[in-house]
C-alpha cells in the first residue's frame, strides 16, 4: 500500500535555529514528490516538486531534497513567518491523485 509518513508531528524552533523536516514514502512507483505549506484557515500552498533521487530545490530559506525513500525540507535560519504546517505528498506512476502525509506543524518563536 502506498504510504507517506512525516516527522516530527510538531517542531518548535527559535528564530535562526535551522532544522529539517522528514517525509518518508513507500510507493509502487514515484512520479513526483510535492511539498506544500498550509497556514491556518487556508488551503495548501505549493512549494516544490521533486522528481528523482538526488534532486534539490530551493526557495528563500527552504531547501527540499529527495532520496529513493525520503525527502527532507531544510529550513535555514527560520523566521516567525515560516510558522505553518508543512505537507508532503507523493504522486505515483499511476498518475493523477496525490497521497498526503499528516504534516509537520512548525512554530518559530522570535
* Binding footprint of other proteins on the chain (CB under 8 A): 31-32, 34, 36, 42-46, 49, 87, 89, 91, 96-103
Shortest distance (Å) from residue 1 CB to other proteins? 13
For the four alpha carbons of 24, 51, 87 and 72, in that order, the dihedral sign comes to positive
Q: Which three cell numbers stand for residue 83?
A: 510558522
Shortest distance (Å) from residue 44 CB to other proteins? 5
Cβ-based nearer residue to other proteins, 65 or 91: 91
Shortest distance (Å) from residue 89 CB to other proteins? 8
Cβ-based nearer residue to other proteins, 97 or 109: 97
Cβ atoms of residues 98 and 1 within 8 Å: no
Cβ-based nearer residue to other proteins, 4 or 108: 4
| Among 4, 20, 7, CA closest to 61 | 20
Distance of CA 9 to the CA centre of its chain: 12
| Among 95, 29, 23, 101, CA closest to 66 | 23
Cβ-based nearer residue to other proteins, 14 or 42: 42
Shortest distance (Å) from residue 99 CB to other proteins? 8
Amino acid at each position: 500500500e502506498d504510504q507517506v509518513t512525516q516527522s516530527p508531528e510538531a517542531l518548535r524552533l527559535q528564530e535562526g535555529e535551522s532544522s529539517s523536516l522528514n517525509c518518508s514514502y513507500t510507493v509502487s512507483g514515484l512520479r513526483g514528490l510535492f511539498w506544500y505549506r498550509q497556514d491556518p484557515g487556508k488551503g495548501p500552498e505549493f512549494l516544490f516538486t521533486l522528481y528523482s533521487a538526488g534532486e534539490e530545490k530551493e526557495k528563500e530559506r527552504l531547501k527540499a531534497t529527495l532520496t529513493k525513500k525520503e525527502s527532507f525540507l531544510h529550513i535555514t535560519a527560520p523566521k516567525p513567518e515560516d510558522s505553518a504546517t508543512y505537507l508532503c505528498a507523493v504522486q505515483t506512476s499511476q498518475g493523477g491523485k496525490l497521497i498526503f502525509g499528516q504534516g509537520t506543524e512548525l512554530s518559530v518563536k522570535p
